[in-house]
Amino acid sequence: MELRLKGNVSEKVFDPTIAIPTLRNARSDLRTCQDTLRKMHKKYWVACDCSDGQPPIMTVRRNGSHYSLVNLTRYGTHTENCPFHYVPSKISTNTNVKRTRSNQFVFIDENTSNSFDNDTKSSMNTLKKLLLYLVDKSDVNKTYTDRTFSSNIKAILDKGTNDVYVNGKGITKKLSFGLINFLKVKEMFLSDVELEGHAEPYFIIDIVDSLESLETHLLAKKIAKGKDISSFKFFKSLSQISELNIENGPFLILSSISFVKAKSKRVVAPALTYFQPIANKRSWLPVNNTLERKAIEKIASSFEWYKKTLGLEFTCHRLLKPIHNDLGRCYPLFKFELGSHFAYFDIQLKSDSAKNTQKTMDYIVLSKSAGGAYCILDENQTVKEIQNVLFKAINEVLKAIKNATDNNPPFDKRMKCIS
Ligand SMILES: [Zn+2]
């Protein structure tokens, strides 16, 4: 990296008071780095040497008492592995966290920050977003008949991680499958620390069948054919886990592996783990509650019936991103598809009246794009009653899609209540 005179890319500058190498190691010593940036502010630009072509140029931006490096868009771009690959660069991770693009995730380094609780909460939120982003990108939130456990893993590790960045670095080499590989991941983390003086978190993704809370730890178990096949201990003094909205697994989990403060020393541990309940081990569709899990069971059995009896292959997509149009945005749960025809399906809980009012607004937005149906379930209904409502509603949507033509869209582009 080289200093340039601000406003003049071709003017190389040497200034012995400025130690540019500290910028690359920003996270190891925030104060030195801030000091360097403060000296450069309004005076110099920096040319990065990561690419062979036109060099990327960065300038120093001040935000209150905080300085950060910002890429100037009219010059060259950084290579993928460069720590300054995106804006905000890793030096500015403590500010403007929310302004990152959707494929970029920023985790706050607890060693350089002072409000531990807030940062844990915000990092947990980032971890959740990262997990759902990987799920959506690799399409494992969609039912296919040829879906298997290992094809899901492969989809996430190959397709899901491509072009996804954590603290400015590609995540492909940082994400592993299986808590069973924790020691291996820990070694990789420690070797980064040795090489660079600091390390960005590593990640482990896995499926856990059950979770048991014991005195000192949470025991996460994998079960196959009724037998425990492996388990992992999350020690309560080291590992933070997300709140669980369903007690029973399976869960798709994402753990960030990094340093954790333990009494007087630092140890490497699964610092944060997000537990996302999913439909089942073959269909990794995220669910919010047991009723959604039941609904997916029903959906799968109806799909099977259509395939066996009529040779029609429906797919169900658990939507994780809002539907946009010029009326606004809305968040329906499912999209059913058959060929080029599709319809939305949504579930409301009777007890959620405030949310349901919002849903009514959502459906107005949705009607601009496509139609579908929803049902209202009451937790006080018997299991049988709930199943009947779900069965009726799901089948009505599937029938509407099957009978749709280009001039006759399902439900005439409206959201119909079926109960
Ligand atoms: Zn660069």
**Span from the CA of 81 to the centroid of ligand 1 (angstroms):** 8
> Per the domain annotation, does 97 fall within a domain?
no
**Span from the CA of 76 to the centroid of ligand 1 (angstroms):** 9
Cβ(224)–Cβ(230) below 8 Å = no
Classify the C-alpha dihedral 176-179-180-182 as positive or negative: positive
Instruction: Note the pLDDT of residue 45.
Output: 92
* Residues less than 5 Å from ion ligand 1, measured at CB: 48, 50, 78, 82, 84
Instruction: Note the pLDDT of residue 98.
Output: 42
- Name the nearest CA neighbour of 273 among 311, 352, 218: 218
Mean pLDDT in order along the chain per 10 residues (419 residues): 88 87 65 85 90 87 78 82 61 44 76 53 91 96 85 94 88 95 96 85 96 95 92 94 90 95 88 95 92 92 94 96 90 95 94 85 91 91 91 95 93 91
**Span from the CA of 4 to the centroid of ligand 1 (angstroms):** 15
**Span from the CA of 85 to the centroid of ligand 1 (angstroms):** 6
Instruction: Note the pLDDT of residue 44.
Output: 92
Residues 258 and 115 in one domain: yes
> Per the domain annotation, does 404 fall within a domain?
yes
**Span from the CA of 69 to the centroid of ligand 1 (angstroms):** 12
> Per the domain annotation, does 243 fall within a domain?
yes
**Span from the CA of 77 to the centroid of ligand 1 (angstroms):** 7
Residues 142 and 257 in one domain: yes
> Per the domain annotation, does 282 fall within a domain?
no
**Span from the CA of 45 to the centroid of ligand 1 (angstroms):** 13
Residues 118 and 220 in one domain: yes
**Span from the CA of 16 to the centroid of ligand 1 (angstroms):** 22
**Span from the CA of 260 to the centroid of ligand 1 (angstroms):** 30
The number of distinct structural domains making up the chain is 3
Residues 265 and 300 in one domain: no
**Span from the CA of 56 to the centroid of ligand 1 (angstroms):** 6
Instruction: Note the pLDDT of residue 107.
Output: 81
**Span from the CA of 24 to the centroid of ligand 1 (angstroms):** 10
> Would you state the torsion angle of the CA atoms of residues 17, 20, 25, 30, taken in this order, to the nearest 10 degrees?
40
Residues 261 and 168 in one domain: yes
**Span from the CA of 204 to the centroid of ligand 1 (angstroms):** 28
Strand partners, 104: 165
Instruction: Note the pLDDT of residue 21.
Output: 79
Residues 121 and 265 in one domain: yes
**Span from the CA of 267 to the centroid of ligand 1 (angstroms):** 31
> Per the domain annotation, does 216 fall within a domain?
yes
> Per the domain annotation, does 101 fall within a domain?
no
Residues 263 and 194 in one domain: yes
Residues 87 and 32 in one domain: yes
Instruction: Note the pLDDT of residue 137.
Output: 95
User: Of 221, 255, 277, which one is at a domain's C-terminal end?
Assistant: 277
Residues 186 and 311 in one domain: no
Instruction: Note the pLDDT of residue 17.
Output: 87
Peptide bond into 270 cis (omega under 30): no
Structure tokens that stand for 3 in this block: 């200093």
120: domain range? 111-277
**Span from the CA of 55 to the centroid of ligand 1 (angstroms):** 8
Instruction: Note the pLDDT of residue 114.
Output: 41
**Span from the CA of 86 to the centroid of ligand 1 (angstroms):** 9
Instruction: Note the pLDDT of residue 29.
Output: 66
For residue 160, give the 3-state DSSP assignment: helix
Residues 378 and 314 in one domain: yes
Instruction: Note the pLDDT of residue 31.
Output: 76
Residues 48 and 188 in one domain: no
Residues 115 and 246 in one domain: yes
Burial of 50-62, coded b for 16+ CB within 10 Å and e otherwise, reads beeeebbbbbbbe
d(CA 217, CA 269): 13
> Per the domain annotation, does 29 fall within a domain?
yes
Cβ(392)–Cβ(349) below 8 Å = no
> Per the domain annotation, does 284 fall within a domain?
no
d(CA 315, CA 342): 9
